[in-house]
Each structure stands twice: as structure tokens, then as C-alpha cells.
Amino acid sequence: MTDLLGTLKGRIDQRDAKVAVIGLGYVGLPLVLRFAEVGFPVIGVDIDADKVTKLEAGESYIEHIPAAAVRSLVAKGFRATTDFSVLSSVDAIVICVPTPLNLHREPDLSYVTGTMDAVAPHMRAGQLVALESTTYPGTTEEELRPRIERQGLVVGQTAFLCFSPEREDPANTKFKTQTIPKVCGGSTPACLEAGVALYSKIIDKVVEVSSTRAAEMTKLLENIHRAVNIGLVNEMKVVADRMGIDIHEVIRAAATKPFGFVPYWPGPGLGGHCIPIDPFYLTWKAREYGVNTRFIELAGEINSAMPNWVVSKLADALNDRERSLKGSRILMLGVAYKKNVDDMRESPALELMEILGEKGAQVDYSDPHVPALPKTRRHHFELASVALDAETVAGYDAVLLATDHDAFDYDLIRKCARLIVDTRGVYASGGANIVKA
């Protein structure tokens, strides 16, 4: 063990260790760029041949990662592949694959287990495997460790295993991969030592925890904290609306308190790859221990109800103008899950479009970051983004502001729209044609 761990750490210290990142999406690709930036030889592996082809050609498929960065990566010797056999030549394997929910809102670990099944036959003594995909406590030990040890390796002695949850925030201008502290837990002390050795070369601060389970729970706590607080302000929004109070004004006022309050903002529902999904990983696992996570599940119910609440506000506003929702032309402003990104994973805008379509509305969308709607696991719309001008905006019965991108001309929209349903608090001063939702 000592020789293998020492050899691995020595190669990492000299930046001779070859790193493979599996899953080249919003988490994996920034990680690849960071490893290459500090001088590690790095390989990218993905089952999506289109992604591999684009990367090999020096193209980017993620808006906030410029093509120039990918070209520089390729110039340094980076290669991408769909062939898992290359893993036999690497020293560290970092897994960054999706962990969605199935149709029953239960964890779908098929990407993680399928990836580990593909990795295991190519493993050799002395390698480190790090899982970054968000999951429930126990996944690393229950799903990855047995698959490694079935290859004749012993975790902590001849192979090293850790969990280090991703904390990427696409388009965040304040923090980036290097500057976001990295939590790391190992299956054994030797595993933790190997994981810290690797991540400390690319991350400014590595936070050690006692186990992979503690690291897995840390990630869930971070995201559940956000989900619960967003659920709280979404419920407060509904109460405030009934009372004729602007919840955004209230939150802004409360945020002036210099202690004891952190502002969270309501919206049309939860979006992104973490917040709408991760709480359900813990609620599912908690049942194994006879625990009902009522607080978390209640927040989930509130947040899941928001798209229907927004549609009801839109329907009421149209009704006040002697228009029915059925047959109305609705323009959705923004389909990404948050402002200024092209990331549509779990976007509440898609749920809104689905509901509106089912109720007979004709829905178009405008989003400068999403020129055409890709097919997702749950939704498939064959639509392209509508360019905004005065005549176009005026031609719709209502504009539903779902994502508050900076690129939108909000003054033009205010002047020309017959009706604006604002789910993001953009139009703080209100107006005769503005309904807040």
C-alpha cells in the first residue's frame, strides 16, 4: 500500500499523473480545463460521440466555456474519446455523470453504476477513483467499492476511492473551479490522502471530511438548504400575493438586516441539475433508516406547485382582460433554469410550457442563450427562439417572464406587451400591464 500510495502521490506532485474525467458536461469539462491548466495530462471520456467530436475539433458546446479554451486544451495534447479502455493507462479517474430522478421521483443511479461497470475492467493497481456526482450517503461504498474490489483490487491498499462533490455554478463570475473550496472524503485514510493530493493541485482549498458518506451528506445539505429556503419564500410569495404585498420588496427590506437573515428569491419553480433533484435522494435513503423527512418533502411540494400557481395567475390576468387561456398566444421569456446561462436542466420554464400547451395556449419562447429547444428526458418541443422587437412583443396576448436574462430589453417589453406576468420581480415598480407571480 505504502509504495502504491507513495508512487501515486509522487506522480501527482510532479504533475506526471494522467487524469481521466468521465462525463464532459457542465461539471466535467471545467474540471478538464483546470487539470490541463496546471499541467496534468488529461483525457476526457463520454458516451456522447457528438461531444467527443466537437471537443476533438476544438469546439465548445457550453456557452460560458469559449471555443478558444477548448482549442488551447487540444493544443496541449488533450484528447476525448468514447473508448473506456484508455483508462488502463491513467492514474486518476474522476466520474462526473448525471444522477437524475426516475418517473417515480426515486434516485436513478444508472449513469453512475453503468459508468463504474465500464471502468472496472480497465482498472489496475495504484489508481484513484473519485466520484463527483451528487448522490445519497452510502453510494460510494455500496455501489463503487464492490465493483472495484471484484476486480481483485483492495480499496485503501491497491486502489484508492473517494467522493468529492461538484460545486460548479455555471456563469458565476465571482467563483470558478479553482476558487470554490472542495470537500473530499475517502473510503480509508489512504484514500483520503490520495484524493487530497490530487485535488489540492487544482483547487485553492480542499476541505477534508471523515468519510465518503460525510462528503455525500455535505453536498445534499448544501442543496437542501437552498431548496427549503426557496420553498419558504415561494410560500411567502403566495401569502403576500393574497394580501396585496410585493414579496420582492419585503425580501429586499429584510436583507438590510446585517445579521440573522439571508435573502432567497421566489420564482416559477426550481431548476438546475441539483436543487430540484438532490433533496429526493436523501428522502429516499432516509426511509431505509425509518425516518420521514417531512420538512424537506413539504418544501418540495411547495416548489413543485409553483408552475401551476404561475399559470393560474396568468389565466386570471387574461380573464380580467376578457381573454381565455385557451387559444391565447403566449411568449415565454427565457427557458434556461437561471439567468445568463444556456443550461436548461430541470428548467421550470419547460414545465410551464407543457402546462400551457395542455390548456390550449399557443406558446413561443425567446431566449438569446437557447437558440433552439433541445429534446430533454421529459420534454420535447420543436421550437426556435423568437427575436424580440416591438411588433413581435405586441403580437402576443401575454408575455410570461420565466428567466430574467440581462440581454432582454425590459423597457421595450414593458412598453409593447399587452400583458406581462413577471415571475422574477424584474418590474419592481409594477404597471397597468404587469402582474407579479
In this structure, what CATH number is given to the domain that contains residue 124?
3.40.50.720
Q: What is the CA radius of gyration of the chain?
A: 24
Torsion angle in degrees (nearest 10) through CA of 194, 145, 141, 189: -30
Q: How many domains does the chain have?
A: 2
**One domain, residues 297 and 404:** yes
Contact by Cβ (8 Å): 379, 354: yes
**One domain, residues 341 and 198:** no
**One domain, residues 351 and 420:** yes
**One domain, residues 269 and 134:** no
220 domain-assigned: no
Which pLDDT belongs to residue 18? Answer: 98
Which pLDDT belongs to residue 270? Answer: 86
Phi, psi dihedral angles at 167 (to 5 degrees): -135, 30
Contact by Cβ (8 Å): 20, 86: yes
Distances (CA, A) of 195 to 108, 219, 377: 26, 17, 33
The span from the CA of 4 to the CA of 9, in Å, is 9
Query: Averaged in consecutive runs of 10 residues, what is the pLDDT profile of the chain (437 residues)?
Result: 87 97 96 96 96 95 93 93 97 96 87 97 97 96 98 97 92 89 98 98 98 97 94 97 95 96 94 81 92 92 95 97 96 95 91 96 96 79 93 97 97 97 93 94
**One domain, residues 350 and 247:** yes
**One domain, residues 95 and 181:** yes
Q: Could you give the residue ranges of the DSSP H alpha helices within 57-205?
A: 67-75, 110-119, 139, 145-149, 189-199
pTM score, whole prediction: 0.92
Which pLDDT belongs to residue 377? Answer: 67
Distances (CA, A) of 353 to 211, 305, 322, 379, 387: 43, 15, 22, 9, 18
- DSSP string over 318-336: HHHTT--STT-EEEEE--S
Name the residue among 437, 435, 398 with its Cα closest to residue 416: 398
215 domain-assigned: no
245 domain-assigned: yes
List the domain range (segments joined by +) for residue 25: 2-208
**One domain, residues 350 and 297:** yes
State how beta strands 182-186 and 160-163 pair.
Answer: antiparallel
Q: Going by C-beta distance under 8 Å and a sequence separation of 6 or more, which residues neighbour residue 322?
A: none
Give the count of beta carbons closer than 10 Å to the beta carbon of residue 378: 11
Which pLDDT belongs to residue 380? Answer: 77
Which pLDDT belongs to residue 335? Answer: 96
Positions marked catalytic: 274
